[in-house]
């Protein structure tokens, strides 16, 4: 029998070998660091997770395509002067009120519209994007994803976080579908490193590095004020502190003075967001009313939001959630239909319309919509309700297959799928 000491020694040697094999040079700092993924794996992971994360966090902001172009231009300008200019950088604006920005491996970067409205000029936007570029270029994102074990989570991530599955609980489901996406939590050294080199990229791209100082001061003030409650995601992934403000002040002293702020250009770029501020406030207030179970008030608020900005698909989707909660399925279907028409690129619009179509026993339409939702995002809900559709149509083989996929996600939806599988087995 091998002794416990020898077992420990063998395990230690194996771990040491793994760690040595995983050492790589940080492309930004030049220092040797532990890396659990090869550059090729990082690129593949970023490509795979980028559309998934976008879908889970509201999808791309589509009301004003010019804003997408503007943010991408600023991001690409910074990327060209980064320490990893060869990465396939992408920059998108997400239709999400939560002030946040994030980066995935390989330079896949997103910023929420909720953060853009807090910024004053292009230099502050460059500070945000430059910071995220460093997270990608210095491989912080890859390390964070490895440590948080999100690899291969896929279907299970969404399933485990979602508790309600009945048609009448679509209002609950609606708030949960987008709330389970990956959010990196970086250590203090990663944040300081991203601030420092992000400011270097700002200056090299012709921006005033003082924009980064102003940005961090703003975050510190917001963390103290009444608005802090809505900024948990931002502060969880990018914790503000006076020490970061002080560090940025020192970094700015080492960089060329001046540089562009481009306030007028930035304000022009976010003008549509500002015009729609009241509409999004009505929507956010409706979501808060739902949390307080004030469903009639929520319905009135979301209909008010529709009048304020009739092009926003999410306003109609939330109306559908509330009508489905009241078991007004035909009216809910009409609301979801409008959401699909206004933004056909978001999985949840197809998923919810398919679920309601199944409730209305329009199984052909339900099958079409549920399958369409799977093109954008794999969810246990789509598989579970496809199982119901096929079971009601007498196609037991297909039903069982979809229930089996849903069951693999675990959680309440997984348990319901397992129960249907057992029922089919018992009948057989």
Say if 121 falls within a structural domain: yes
End-to-end CA distance of the chain: 50
Say whether both 279 and 222 belong to one domain: no
| Angle, helices 122-137/140-147, rounded to nearest 10 degrees | 60
Which of these three, 202, 225, 254, is where a domain ends? 254
Alpha helices (H) along 57-121 = 65-79, 113-116
Could you tell me if residue 389 is inside a domain?
Answer: yes
My answer on whether 307 and 194 are in the same domain is no
Which residues, 6+ apart, have CB-to-CB distance to 80 below 8 Å? 205
Distance CA 383, CA 86 (A): 39
Residue 2 located in a structural domain: no
Indicate whether 152 and 242 sit together in one domain.
Answer: yes
The secondary structure element, H or E, covering residue 23 is strand 23-25
Rounded CA separation 256/248 (Å):
14
Give the three-class secondary structure for 248: helix
CA angle 148, 149, 155 (to 5 degrees): 120
Question: Per-residue pLDDT tens for 375-388?
Answer: 999 999 999 999 99
292 assigned to some structural domain = yes
Lowest mean pLDDT, pick from 43-57, 134-148, 326-340: 134-148
Same domain, 85 and 142: yes
Over residues 218-249, the pLDDT tens digits come to 888 877 764 545 556 555 556 667 888 899 99
Q: What are the tokens at 204?
A: 């090299």
Question: Does residue 372 share a domain with residue 250?
Answer: no
Q: Which helix (H) or strand (E) holds 94?
A: strand 90-94
413 and 285 in a single domain? The answer is: yes
Q: Which of 225, 254, 283 is the last residue of a domain?
A: 254
Q: Is 33 helix (H, G, I), strand (E, B) or coil?
A: strand
Q: Structure tokens of 89?
A: 């950088």
Q: What is the pLDDT of residue 79?
A: 97
Query: Is 199 contained in some domain?
Result: yes
Tens digits of per-residue pLDDT, 286-327?
Answer: 999 999 999 999 999 999 999 999 999 999 999 999 999 999
Q: What is the DSSP letter of 153?
A: -
What is Dmax (Cα atoms) for the chain?
Answer: 77
Query: With 90 as the cut, is the pLDDT of residue 138 above it?
Result: no
Decide: 311 and 342 in contact? Cβ < 8 Å: yes
Per-residue pLDDT, 230: 56
Residue 166 lies in a domain: no
232 with 297, same domain: the answer is no
Write phi, then psi, for 26 (nearest 5 degrees).
-65, 120
pLDDT value for 139: 73
Domain count, the chain: 2
**Residue 351 within any structural domain of the chain:** yes
- Judgement on whether residues 235 and 368 belong to the same structural domain of the protein: no
Strands 101-104, 108-112: pairing is antiparallel
More confident residue, 31 or 60: 60
Same domain, 83 and 198: yes
* 151, 248: one domain: yes
- The answer to whether residues 397 and 342 belong to one domain is yes
The conformational region for residue 149 under phi > 0 = left, psi -120 to 50 = alpha, else beta, is left
Q: How far is CA 308 from CA 258, 302, 318, in A?
A: 40, 10, 15
Q: What is the pLDDT of the chain when averaged over all its residues? A: 84
Report the C-alpha gap between 312 and 349 in whole angstroms: 12
- Give the up-direction half-sphere exposure of residue 120: CA atoms within 13 A in the CB hemisphere: 12
Q: What angle do CA 421, 423, 427 make, to 5 degrees?
A: 115
Rama region for 397: left / alpha / beta (φ>0; ψ in -120 to 50; rest): alpha
Could you list the residue range(s) of the whole structural domain that residue 397 is in?
A: 275-426
3-class SS at 393?
A: coil
At 163 the pLDDT is 36
The candidate with the shortest Cα–Cα distance to 37, out of 24, 27, 47, is 24
Residues 201 and 135 in one domain: yes
CATH number (domain holding residue 347): 1.25.40.10
326 occurs within a structural domain:
yes
Q: Contact at 8 Å (CB) between 332 and 324?
A: yes
- HSE, side-chain direction, 13 A CA sphere, residue 299: 16
pTM: 0.84
């Amino acid at each position: 029998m091998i002794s416990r000491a020898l077992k420990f020694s063998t395990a230690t040697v194996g771990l040491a070998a793994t760690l040595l094999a995983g050492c790589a040079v940080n492309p930004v700092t030049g220092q040797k660091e532990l890396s659990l993924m090869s550059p090729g794996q990082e690129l593949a992971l970023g490509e795979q997770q980028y559309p998934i994360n976008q879908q889970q966090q509201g999808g791309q902001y589509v009301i004003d395509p010019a804003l997408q172009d503007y943010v991408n231009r600023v991001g690409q300008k910074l990327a060209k002067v980064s320490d990893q200019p060869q990465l396939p950088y992408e920059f998108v604006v997400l239709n999400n009120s939560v002030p946040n920005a994030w980066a995935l491996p390989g330079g896949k970067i997103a910023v929420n519209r909720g953060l853009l409205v807090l910024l004053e000029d292009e230099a502050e936007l460059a500070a945000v994007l430059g910071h995220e570029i460093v997270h990608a270029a210095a491989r912080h994102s890859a390390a964070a994803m490895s440590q948080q074990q999100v690899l291969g989570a896929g279907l299970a991530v969404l399933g485990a976080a979602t508790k309600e599955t009945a048609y009448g609980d679509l209002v609950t489901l609606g708030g949960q579908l987008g709330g389970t996406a990956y959010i990196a939590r970086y250590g203090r050294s990663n944040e300081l490193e991203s601030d420092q080199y992000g400011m270097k990229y700002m200056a090299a791209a012709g921006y005033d590095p003082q924009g980064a100082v102003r940005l961090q001061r703003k975050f510190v003030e917001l963390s103290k004020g009444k608005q802090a409650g809505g900024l948990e995601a931002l502060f969880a992934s990018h914790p503000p502190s006076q020490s970061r403000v002080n560090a940025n002040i020192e970094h700015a002293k080492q960089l060329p003075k001046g540089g562009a702020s481009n306030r007028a250009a930035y304000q022009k770029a976010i003008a549509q967001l500002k015009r729609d501020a009241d509409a999004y406030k009505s929507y956010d207030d409706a979501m808060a009313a739902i949390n307080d179970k004030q469903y009639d008030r929520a319905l009135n608020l979301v209909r008010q939001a529709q009048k304020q900005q009739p092009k926003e698909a999410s306003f109609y989707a939330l109306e559908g959630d509330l009508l489905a909660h009241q078991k007004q399925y035909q009216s809910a279907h009409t609301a979801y239909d409008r959401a699909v028409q206004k933004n056909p690129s978001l999985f949840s619009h197809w998923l919810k319309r398919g679920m309601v179509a199944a409730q209305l026993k329009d199984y052909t339409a339900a099958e079409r919509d549920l399958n369409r939702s799977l093109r954008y995002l794999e969810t246990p809900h789509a598989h579970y309700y496809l199982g119901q559709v096929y079971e009601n149509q007498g196609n037991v083989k297909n039903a069982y297959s979809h229930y089996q996929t849903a069951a693999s996600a675990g959680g309440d939806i997984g348990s319901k799928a397992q129960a249907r599988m057992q029922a089919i087995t018992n009948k057989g």
